[in-house]
């Protein structure tokens, strides 16, 4: 193996850019840059009719923008966030309902339209980065309290009593002295006209009835009876259905269609279209459109023969990985501490290893779709799955050639997302829907077949890191180095606004570790991918924690230490992490590495820690091997997000993330060969099936630390715990993911 | 023209004979509870019952339906077993994104009608639909609950 290249000295302790700060500022600037003019126009048009707060509302404060209390006692809540399985609709209902004093079960939660009121995530709006609850918890509590205060004042006026004589109970204002009461629904109109008192007092947490409780999710019945409506289920009057066939090589164009007239004569076909990088057929049903588009005989322009600046005719994922490994370019310092050079010079032992992870697809079960309707008044309606309404509104406006305030954006519930529904170059169907609606003069719904989705989904980047560690005579690590080469989605999509050359989404999980290894030097070298890369549940953590925590087990082995004991030693000054290690060992019935006999076969366990998205996790995996393949029996996860709103949803999210982590490390990979993705559907992109689902045991630890994320953090500890268990069982250290690419020794 | 028996009603549809039942339900009849996931019988999101048997409707062409009685998620609560399954799904808080759950509920309903007390192996061999949210353990728990 090549030694690590030497880099020019960089300042020790160069600041690392936190993901939170970066996404906050960068995405904010992006949204401001494209969307603000439209907002300003709209705010002016609304004028003072909406009150002084309408021009520049402080996000998350204007009660009528969020709450509609209906005569029947139900509460419609316009959420800043989109529901896609993570349970945020229920969480919002709990937080607001707690302070408003309405049972969350009576909430109807919808994703709010674009608007400055909803920019509650560090001044911007998105559903991602596991930010939703932690970024808005305080605001949404206050919003509920402010609304309750308005209802109390309206009731006081109506009943001609002092406010202090009134109390509330689950949607009703009560005047105990006179035995009178008024339902919220009867007070709503009066209340909403009052000036909000933003200092309305909050409930003492010890009196909480909904926050912190495993409140039932408000959407499970609809989702168990087929009544939940996703983007793919929506229809509008007079709509055409469109199917597309994308260019076999991204970046190439349709240059001719040989049988257009024949296809136009197929049943139900309305029209045939050429789009950027695709052809489309509009028809009176999607199946007819799909059959027709697949019958088209299209001549496409040719991709470049070679090179890594485009997806060339000879592009392969193996070739890209080779390029990442071969890069000799000096890295930018992502983290530096102590004097790694001196530590390596004086080391008793030095070990090195290279780790690689493949491209991954989101593979959410709902294929992407979009409806666009151009209205007679020059406005545009779009219905589309998205995690960032204002950005999709701005880009829709650009595609349509109208101002953003002419675009009404509708954000239905998502049939899974995992990072899928940001804007990814040619990876979203809504621009096609807008172009086709303009071309046909009819509303158009574009739906991508599963095959088109696998061809155009943005991918978790293929990744590569080279590690080196110095050990002292006692076998303890004195220094660690990592050289990460590649590209991350923050750099790709928000890179122009990054203030350092280090892409945080490429190095998270390798930097800012809790271990007491005094000398550290982590670098990042950018090598751009020609393919469309994406955010994927837990982003850089999804592979980097697997790399780091696997390598740490290699360090333990090289130093003759048990991997659990080594972690305890390296965390002796980190009480939060030590506690999690103790908790997860306790949950698993005590730490043992194995191999040991269980249920007629040999098994072993691996342990891993991760610190993703402001939360902390400790994970133990138990595996066996049969016919060369790993089987995961149990995952024990101790999870500390600081504090929780709904422990049942948190447990479900951790289990869900654990399933995706298991799936990715065991099976998943998008392979390119000859410029083409080799996965077209679930038969060629295997995901976790029921028979491979481990038992997942989750223990929530509420340390009281600042609230961290929930949706993603359960994932990153799972792949390394499984990899470490496989190594313990077989002696094989799998360094190139997924595990399915390696035939494991029987055990 | 095809006359189909769907949820106890006869529905006449004018589509090509090779049109999958899935798209007849979704686009022709506007019954969108049955989901499209893969189109190649891998994921099971499109599961409906035909004469009580769980079928992946993306692979059932309309001309092959004949007189079979088709039941979809829209009518699941009209059936005693289906109702039990739905209640178990709610009690076990199974769905996350929910997109695959129409198919999962229909598969569970078919299983429990033919095998009211399924073993773990019965559940494993009948409940083969994909779930990207990883709700498999909750699904198995809900099936056991519905069978209890």
Backbone conformation region of residue A539, classed left if phi is above 0, alpha if psi is from -120 to 50, else beta:
left
Residue closest to A464 by CA, chosen among A543, A539, A407, A538: A543
Query: How far A725 CA sits from the closest chain B CA (Å)?
Result: 21
Neighbours of A274 (CB within 10 A): 16
User: How open is the CA angle A23-A25-A31, to the nearest 5 degrees?
Assistant: 90
> pLDDT tens digits, residue range B19-43?
999 999 999 999 999 999 999 999 9
Residue found under tokens 């126009």: A41
Residues on chain A touching B40 (C-beta within 8 angstroms): 450, 681-683
Query: How far A385 CA sits from the closest chain B CA (Å)?
Result: 13
Q: How close are the terminal C-alpha atoms of chain A, in Å?
A: 29
| Mutation choice for B interface testing from A82, A214, A224 by most B CBs within 10 A | A224
The confidence score (pLDDT) of residue A407 equals 98
Burial of residue A704 (CB within 10 Å: 0-12, 13-18, 19+) is: exposed
What is the rounded average pLDDT of the residues A335-344? Answer: 98
Residues on chain B touching A659 (C-beta within 8 angstroms): 133-134, 136
Contact B97 A87 (CB under 8 A): no
Given the candidates 3.40.50.300, 3.10.20.30, 1.20.1530.20, 3.30.420.40, the CATH classification of the domain at B2-74 is 3.10.20.30
Domain boundaries along the sequence of chain B: 2-74, 76-147
Cα separations (Å) of A676 from A226, A316, A318, A486, A740? 36, 8, 12, 20, 21
Q: Is the pLDDT of residue A560 over 80?
A: yes
Q: Is the pLDDT of residue A376 over 70?
A: yes
Q: Is the pLDDT of residue A11 over 60?
A: no
| Mutation choice for A interface testing from B59, B82, B98, B101 by most A CBs within 10 A | B98
The confidence score (pLDDT) of residue A122 equals 87
Q: Which domains does chain A have, with CATH numbers?
A: 57-224 (3.30.365.10), 239-302+368-447 (3.30.365.10), 321-347+460-741 (3.30.365.10)
Burial of residue A498 (CB within 10 Å: 0-12, 13-18, 19+) is: middle
DSSP per residue over A89-104, as a string? HHHHHHHHHHHHT--G
Cα separations (Å) of B106 from A64, A83, A268? 41, 24, 31
CA distance A631 to A42: 57
Neighbours of A515 (CB within 10 A): 19
The confidence score (pLDDT) of residue A310 equals 95
What is the rounded average pLDDT of the residues A488-508? Answer: 92
pLDDT band at A495 (very low <50, low <70, confident <90, very high): confident
The confidence score (pLDDT) of residue A198 equals 83
pLDDT band at A499 (very low <50, low <70, confident <90, very high): confident
CB A585 within 8 A of CB A564: yes
What is the rounded average pLDDT of the residues A92-102? Answer: 98
Q: List Cβ neighbours of B54 (8 Å cut-off, separation of 6 or more).
A: B47, B48, B106, B107, B110, B111, B126
The confidence score (pLDDT) of residue A55 equals 53
Interface contact B114, partner A, CB < 8 A: no
What is the rounded average pLDDT of the residues B50-58? Answer: 98
Rg over CA atoms, chain B: 15
Q: Of chain A residues 258-317, which have a CB less than 8 A from chain B?
A: 267, 285-288
What is the rounded average pLDDT of the residues A564-568? Answer: 98
Q: Is the pLDDT of residue A13 over 50?
A: no
Q: List Cβ neighbours of A347 (8 Å cut-off, separation of 6 or more).
A: A470, A471, A472, A478, A479
pLDDT band at B15 (very low <50, low <70, confident <90, very high): very high
CA A470 distance to own-chain centroid:
35
Cα separations (Å) of A605 from A509, A562, A598? 22, 12, 12
Neighbours of A731 (CB within 10 A): 12
β-pairing verdict for B69-71 and B2-6? parallel
Interface contact B108, partner A, CB < 8 A: no
CA distance A124 to A17: 18
CA distance B1 to A147: 57
CA distance A555 to A561: 8
Classified by CATH at the fold level, domain B76-147 comes out as DNA polymerase; domain 1 (1.10.150)
Interface contact B80, partner A, CB < 8 A: no
Contact B134 A656 (CB under 8 A): yes
Q: Is the pLDDT of residue A2 over 60?
A: no
Q: What is the mean pLDDT of chain A?
A: 92
Buried b (16+ CB within 10 A) or exposed e, A642-669: bbbbbebbbbbbbbbbbbbbbbbbbbbb
What is the rounded average pLDDT of the residues B78-100? Answer: 98
What is the rounded average pLDDT of the residues A632-661? Answer: 98
Query: How far B83 CA sits from the closest chain A CA (Å)?
Result: 9
pLDDT band at A698 (very low <50, low <70, confident <90, very high): very high
Question: What tokens does A509 get?
Answer: 């999980």
Q: Do domains B2-74 and B76-147 have the same CATH topology?
A: no
Q: Of chain B residues 42-71, which have a CB less than 8 A from chain A?
A: 42-43, 45
Which contiguous run of DSSP H or E holds residue A270?
Answer: strand A269-275
For A447, name the nearest residue in chain B, comparing CA atoms only: B36
The confidence score (pLDDT) of residue A497 equals 78
The confidence score (pLDDT) of residue A415 equals 98
What is the rounded average pLDDT of the residues A103-118? Answer: 97
Residue closest to A198 by CA, chosen among A155, A138, A112, A111: A138
Q: For residue A206, what is the DSSP state?
A: G
| φ, ψ dihedrals at A164, nearest 5° | -65, -15
Question: What tokens does B25 get?
Answer: 């339900």
Helix, strand, coil content of chain B in percent (nearest 5)? 45, 15, 40
Q: For residue A385, what is the DSSP state?
A: -
The confidence score (pLDDT) of residue A270 equals 98
CA distance A150 to A187: 9
| φ, ψ dihedrals at A127, nearest 5° | -110, 100
């Amino acid at each position: 193996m090549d030694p690590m290249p030497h880099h020019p000295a960089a300042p020790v302790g160069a600041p690392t850019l936190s993901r939170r700060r970066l996404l906050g500022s960068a995405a904010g600037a992006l949204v401001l840059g494209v969307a603000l003019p439209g907002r300003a126009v709209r705010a002016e048009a609304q004028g003072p009719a909406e009150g002084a707060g309408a021009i520049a509302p402080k996000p998350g404060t204007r009660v009528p923008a969020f709450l509609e209390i209906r005569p029947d006692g139900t509460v419609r809540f316009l959420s800043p966030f989109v529901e896609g399985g993570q349970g945020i609709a229920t969480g919002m209902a709990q937080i607001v309902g707690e302070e408003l004093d309405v049972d969350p079960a009576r909430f109807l939660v919808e994703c709010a339209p674009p608007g400055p009121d909803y920019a509650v995530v560090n001044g911007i709006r998105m559903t991602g980065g596991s930010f939703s609850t932690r970024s808005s918890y305080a605001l949404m509590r206050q919003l509920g309290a402010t609304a309750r205060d308005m209802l109390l004042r309206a009731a006081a006026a109506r009943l001609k009593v002092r406010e202090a004589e009134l109390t509330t109970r689950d949607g009703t204002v009560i005047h105990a002295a006179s035995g009178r009461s008024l339902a919220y629904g009867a007070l709503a109109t009066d209340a909403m006209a009052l000036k909000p008192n933003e200092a309305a007092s909050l409930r003492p947490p010890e009196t909480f009835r909904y926050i912190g409780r495993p409140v039932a999710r408000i959407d499970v019945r609809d989702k168990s009876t087929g009544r939940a409506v996703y983007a793919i289920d929506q229809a509008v009057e007079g709509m055409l259905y469109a199917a597309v066939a994308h260019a076999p090589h991204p970046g190439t164009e349709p240059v001719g269609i040989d049988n257009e007239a024949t296809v136009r004569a197929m049943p139900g076909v309305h029209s045939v279209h050429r789009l950027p990088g695709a052809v489309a057929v509009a028809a009176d049903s999607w199946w007819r459109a799909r059959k027709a588009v697949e019958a088209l005989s299209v001549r496409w322009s040719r991709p470049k023969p070679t090179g890594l600046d485009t997806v060339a005719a000879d592009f392969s994922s193996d070739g890209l990985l080779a390029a990442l490994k071969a890069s000799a370019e000096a890295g930018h310092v992502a983290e530096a501490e102590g004097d790694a050079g001196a530590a390596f010079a004086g080391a008793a032992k030095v070990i090195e290893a290279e780790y690689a992870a493949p491209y991954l697809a989101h593979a959410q079960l709902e294929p992407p779709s979009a409806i666009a309707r151009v209205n007679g008044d020059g406005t545009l309606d779009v219905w589309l799955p998205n995690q960032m309404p204002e950005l999709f509104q701005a880009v829709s406006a650009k595609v349509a050639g109208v101002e953003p305030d002419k675009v009404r954006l509708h954000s239905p519930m998502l049939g899974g997302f995992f990072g899928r529904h940001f804007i990814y170059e040619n990876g979203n169907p809504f621009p096609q829907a807008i172009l086709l609606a303009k071309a046909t003069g009819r509303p158009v719904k574009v739906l991508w077949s599963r095959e088109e989705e696998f061809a155009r989904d943005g991918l978790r980047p293929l990744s590569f890191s080279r590690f080196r560690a110095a050990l002292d005579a006692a076998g303890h690590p004195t220094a660690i180095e990592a050289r990460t080469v590649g590209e991350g989605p923050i750099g790709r999509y928000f890179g122009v606004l990054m203030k350092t050359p280090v892409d945080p989404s490429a190095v998270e999980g390798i930097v800012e570790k809790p271990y007491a290894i005094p000398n550290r030097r982590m670098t990042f070298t950018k090598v751009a991918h020609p393919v469309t890369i994406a955010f994927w549940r837990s982003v850089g953590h999804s592979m980097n924690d697997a790399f780091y925590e696997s390598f740490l087990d290699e360090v333990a082995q090289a130093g003759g230490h048990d991997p659990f004991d080594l972690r305890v030693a390296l965390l002796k000054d980190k009480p939060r992490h030590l506690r999690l290690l103790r908790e997860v060992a306790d949950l698993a019935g005590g730490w043992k590495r194995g191999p040991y006999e269980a249920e007629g076969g040999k098994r072993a366990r691996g342990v891993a820690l991760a610190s993703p998205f402001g939360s902390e996790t400790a994970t133990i995996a138990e595996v066996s091997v049969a016919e060369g393949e790993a089987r995961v029996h149990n995952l024990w996860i101790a999870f500390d997000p600081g504090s929780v709103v709904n422990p049942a949803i948190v447990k479900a999210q951790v289990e869900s993330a654990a399933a995706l982590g298991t799936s990715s490390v065991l099976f998943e990979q998008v392979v390119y060969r000859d410029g083409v993705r080799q996965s077209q559907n679930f038969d060629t992109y295997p995901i976790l099936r029921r028979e491979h689902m481990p038992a997942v045991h989750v223990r929530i630890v509420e340390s009281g630390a600042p609230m961290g994320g929930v949706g993603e953090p359960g994932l990153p500890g799972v792949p390394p715990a499984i990899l470490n268990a496989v190594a313990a069982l077989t002696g094989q250290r799998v360094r190139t993911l997924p595990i399915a690419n390696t035939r494991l020794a029987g055990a | 023209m095809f006359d189909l028996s769907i949820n106890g009603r006869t529905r006449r549809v004018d589509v090509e004979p090779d049109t999958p039942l899935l798209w007849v339900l979704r686009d022709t009849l506007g019954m969108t509870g049955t989901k499209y996931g893969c189109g190649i019988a891998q994921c099971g999101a499109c599961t409906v019952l035909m004469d009580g048997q769980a079928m992946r409707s993306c692979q059932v062409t309309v001309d092959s339906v004949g007189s079979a009685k088709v039941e979809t998620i829209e009518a699941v609560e009209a059936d005693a077993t289906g109702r039990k399954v739905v209640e178990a799904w709610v009690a076990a808080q199974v769905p996350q994104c929910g997109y695959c759950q129409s198919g999962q509920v229909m598969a569970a309903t078919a299983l429990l009608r033919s095998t009211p007390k399924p073993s773990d192996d019965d559940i494993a061999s009948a409940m083969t639909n994909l779930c990207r949210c990883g709700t498999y353990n909750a699904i198995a728990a809900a099936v056991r609950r519905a069978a209890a």
